[in-house]
Structure formats: structure tokens, C-alpha cells
Chains A and B, each alone.
Chain A
Amino acid sequence: MKRWTGLIGALAIVVGGGAQAQDTIKIGSLFETSGFLAFLGNQGLEGANLAVEEINASGGIDGKKIDLVNFNTESDETKAVIGVKKLIERDKVVALIGAMNSGSTFSIIDIVQRAGIPIVSNGASRAISTPVNEKKWVFQAPLTDVLVINVLIDHFKEKGIGKIALNNADSGFATSGMKQWQRIAPERGIDIVIQQTYGNNDPDMTPQLTNIRAKSEVQAVVQWGTGKGQAIVAKNYRQLGIDKPLYYSHAASDPNLIKLAGDAANGIIFPTSKIAVVDELPDSDPQKKVTANFIEKFKAKYGRGPATFAGNGYDSMIMLADAIRRAGSTDPAKIRDAFEQTVDYPGVTSVYTYSAVDHYGAQPEGVALQIIEDGKIRLYK
């Protein structure tokens, strides 16, 4: 028996620590504050915490304060499964927000569906909330690739661009982007003349870009990826002297791109949310006030400017609180129904409209084309 005393002790620790009475509204979040996506999860959590502070400072929801319980999923799918069970069962949360990682969200969809708890995911893969009839409890708040691809194609139509080259990484984000481009572009009359894939950690993308350069009929090059690969592509693109316009995904709103690529980043055009260009927005823009307020409060609380992902966390929390207020109840089913009826909600990341057939919410008018000029992000005009 001597060997098992330790085991029993450990079990006792796990069993201990029960529920407590609540006059607060408990919301669970699954942001990854460690692991390989910690840089996203930390920002998401900061945004969500800011939203909670704001809501509680103005009296909470019907007098009840929000209590946000975060479970750090460590960017790990197995951990996400453990975490969502803990939040639902131990903390008795009425709704969930997070994970930034699409994989972590995929791994818990079954559980939230069965438990009947609404989740507002910040994962960007559109398959998270489709098909809607099978994902009744799952909503998404970030910009999805389908949305920004359509914004880019609208722009191509306007400019008379019909033939493009697509260069993408082999990461989850970029693979999903590639698949959507290959599906949407032909439908909308855009011809992808050549498609090239590079490894996410490759140190040099000259081979792919040389192949693209060889196709003289290409009118514009579209680059889809995240992280330092984007900067390498920009540098290689300029080194090879390709003179066609270069378009990036919404992942280009990453300060590291400008830092790493330097002058090579100038001229890159990309569609994304309006955080970086809020000063240039017309006053008529419904997001201007919300976004300016968010940036100001974020700077006051954390002493630095917010990135896109902080906006995702903030939006999810604010919209969820709004849904609880409208539902007039903390019953998860009523919160879900109310969330689904969110219409034209101006958030930081986008303008959101959800419906029974659309659980990704973000609308095209939330996206603005932006360009890097002299190492600064400006509104593209």
C-alpha cells in the first residue's frame, strides 16, 4: 500500500475545492497564456479583462457583476478539453469565450454542444461554426478568411485585376486561406494563375517567388501566412524586383512585419480591422467611437497599444454581456438565443450581425484596406 498513499493524496487535492454561492455571472474563457500561441491568448485575455472591468464599473448586468474565469489551455488541444470540462462543471460558467487556437476550439465543440453552453470562439477557421445546424452553440468573433478574401476580390474587380498569383505558408491559417481562395476566386471570376506553398519556418522564399515571377500574365500577387515568413516574402519579393502589387492577408497587421521587413514592407496592401487607422476614419464610421474608446482605455490600463487580437477578446466579452442583458437571464439557452439575434453591433474588430444561418457575424464593412507607407500603416485610398 505504501506506494498508493501519494496517489490518494493527489486525488484528494483534485476532489477538494468545490463550488461557491454566486451573486455574480460567471463566464469562462479559454485563452492560452502559455505555449506557442501565448502571444495571441495573452492579448485576447487582456482585451476580455478590459471589457469586464468596463462592464462592472458601469454597474454590471442588472446589478450582477461579471466574473471572468480563465483557464490557460497552453495552446494544447488535450488541455482545452480538460479546461472546458472544469469551467462548465466546477466553475459553472454560463457562457464561454476563447480559444484563439482553432485546433483548441475544434477539440471542444462536441463538449459544448452536448453541455449546451454558448461559446464565442476567437479561432479564425470558418469550419469552427459551419455547418450552423450542427454547431448550434458555437459562434465566432474574429475576421475570417472568407470575409477578407471577398473584400480583396471586390477591390480586384474595381482595379480590373483578373489574374493573380497565390503564395501561402503551410500553417493552419494559411492552408485554410489557400483552400478558400481556390474555392471563392473561380466563383467570382478571378483566375489563380499559379499557387505556391512554402514551409512556415523556411528561411528563404525565393524559389516560390521566382516561379511566380516567371508568369508574366499575373497582375497581382497575394501572400497568405503569419509570423516571420511574411517578412521574408516581402524582402525576397523586392530582391527579385517583382513590380506587381503585393497583397497580404489580415495577418499583416503584425508590427513585427514592419520591424523585420523594413523598407521592403512599404507598399504592401492588406485588408483588416480598423484599429491601426482609427484616426483616419471618417466620423460617420460606426466603429470609430468604439475603437477609439477601446484604444484609449487599453493604453491607460496596460501602458501600450492594443493589437488586433486584444480587440477580438474585447468584442467577444462585450457582445456576450449585451446578449445576457437582452436575454434578461443567465440561462445558457436564453443567452445563446439572444446572442444569435445580435444585429449591426459595432465592435472593435468588425461590425457584427449574427443569425440562425450565420454564426461568424463579422461583416465586410468592418474591414478596411490598408497600406504600409514609410513604415506606417495607413488607410488605403
Chain B
Amino acid sequence: MKTPLALVCLLIVPFLGSDYLTNLLIVVMLHALPAIGVSLLMGYTGQISLGHAAFYGLGAYGAAAFSVHGGGDPWIGIALATFLVGVMSSYLGWVIFRLRGHYLAVATLGFGFIVNIAFVELRDWTGGPNGLPGIPPLDIPILDLSFHTDGTFFYVAWVAMILAVVMAQNLVNAPVGLVMRGIAESERAVSSLGNDVTSLKRKILVISAAVSAASGGLYAHYIGYISPQPFAIDFSIKLVVIIAIGGFRSIPGILFATLFVTVITEPLQELGYYDVVVYGLFLVVIIAYMPQGLLQGAYGLGRRMLSGARAPAGAGR
């Protein structure tokens, strides 16, 4: 439980008085949720997904449509959207987990595209390519709390992230976490021990999709405007990149990777066209030389350099 405790330190950020920094961390925390979701499914259970932006988007559009078109309470909207995405992903799992490896990748990719096209074409509900404006901010009228500023919304995103982290860590540390890792290594071996592999995969997909949808719902009410663009295939790929940098199976590593990906792209923006080139090189280096993720890799590198400094050269091994 070290991770949630360490994350408590983040609570001082809104008091630093910088909306820019607060906002940057809100984006990091909101993106951390789907990243954790992808990590559970892809990192721990070994089932590739290139369609998580769709769950994130369905959560956002579902919650937004509920409060904009239906005039409903935003919290109920987020909960309802999360629930419906969970139910839908369960059926989706029933279909797509008949596939493995590359076929599964293509199926999830296709799902992502279909959902994004639906966002563009269902104009009456989604506002089409021009998006849906006027999504109300979150509030709790009884306690006289409103979350329309960065400083206040920060805590909403923070609570959501902590819940996701605790849930994910409990899940992977429980016996079922062992089965999940087993599926990633050898499905046959795990099922020979009497585990229902397909059913577990579906359950993990449901959790993973629901976490993403909840984050999408929060995002919609935070920004107040959504369009299909943030929920396109690029975001699915970004999530896979995040978990690759995070080392696939490490919740703290993934939190760090989400921060890294969001923060590192800030200075890279100055490069304009060339930002993707530098970014790509970064990725290649990390994936080739730090297979356990940037956090572990950098830590190992640091330790080697320190011990190298202490011991005479060549005496390290």
C-alpha cells in the first residue's frame, strides 16, 4: 500500500497556486485510469487491446449525453455510463475473446474505429464532428461543493485515481492476480488447473473498460466540451505506449509513465513537425534497453552508476 500513501503527497499540488501545473496533473490522473485498465488487461492478463479509447469515449459521451440531453445529475450520468460500458464490454468480450494475438488486436482496433465513427455520425446525440458543448461541471449541492475550477476538480480526479490504484493493486495481489499472469504466460496451463480462462478474461475486460469509461465521464464534465477527436485511435495507441514505458505489469510504473508521457511532450512541442521523431526515438530506447519500464530501468541504471562510482572500475561484477 505504499503507492496510495505516496500519492497523498500530490494533494499539496493545488496549493502551489499554479493552474497550469494543477491542470497538467489532472490530465495525468485522468489518463492514468484507462492506462491502469489497459495494464490489467494487456500487461497482467496478456490480452492486447487497441480499442480502449472507445471505452473512454463511450464513458465521456454517455455521461455528457445524460446531462446535456437528459438534464440528469452528472454523477448519476457518470455512474450509468460506466455501468453500461461495463455491460457492453462483457458482451464484447464474449465475441472477441474467441480470438487471440494479432486477430484480437485487429478486432479491438476495429471496435475502436466503429465507435469513433458512431461519435461522428450520430449527430443528434453527439453533435457530430463539431462536438457537444455545454456539459455542466460536477457539484455536490448538499455540501455546497462545486468542482468547476482546477483546484477543486483536482480532488475528484485524485480520488478516482486512488480508487483505481487500490482496486488494481488488490486485484493483482489477490490469487486471481496470479491466474491473470498465468493466462499471459500460458492459457493452456492455467485452464488445465481448472480455471475458466474465457470467463476471467471477460471479467478483466469489464473492469478495464469500466475504469476507462469512468475516467471519460470525469473528463467530459471537467473540460465541458467533447468531440470525437480525443477518443480516436491515437489515444488507444498512446495508452499502449504508456504501459510499455511503464513496464506492462507495474501500477506505480504506469502512473509514472502517464506522467512522463504527458510532461515530456511539453518541451517536445517546440520542435513542431519533428516532435514525433524524437518521441519515437525515446520509445525505441526505452523499449530496447529498459524492458521493465522506464521507472525500473532508470532506477537500475542509477544504482549501477552509483555502485560503479563506489567500487573501482571493473570490479562491479
Contacts and interface: CB of A to CB of B under 8 A. Distances in A.
A14 B130 contact: no
B225 A110 contact: yes
Contact of A15 (B18, B252, B259): B18
Given A13-B263, A72-B269, A76-B230, A127 B20 contact: no
Interface stretch (A169-177, A183-191, A322-330): A169-177
A106 B226 CA distance: 9
A196 B259 CA distance: 45
A181 to B, nearest CB: 15
B275 interface: yes
A71 B259 contact: no
Interface string B287-313: 000000001001100000000000000
A79 B269 CA distance: 10
Interface stretch (A80-88, A217-225, A266-274, A335-343): A80-88
Given A6-B256, A170-B121, A14 B263 contact: yes
A351 interface: no
B23 A4 contact: no
B16 interface: yes
B20 A82 contact: yes
Contact of B20 (A72, A90, A170, A171): A90
User: What DSSP secondary structure best describes chain A's contact surface?
Assistant: helix
A10 B295 CA distance: 12
B223 A78 contact: yes
Nearest to A38: B273
Given A103-B227, A170-B129, A89 B24 contact: no
B269 A103 contact: no
Contact of A77 (B23, B227, B298): B227
A42 interface: yes
Interface of B: 2-3, 6, 9, 16, 18-21, 23-24, 27, 120-121, 123, 128-131, 133, 150, 219, 223-225, 227, 229-230, 252, 255-256, 259-260, 263, 265-266, 269-273, 275-276, 295, 298-299
11 contacts: A1-B6, A7-B259, A13-B263, A77-B230, A82-B20, A82-B24, A85-B150, A102-B130, A170-B120, A172-B128, A175-B128
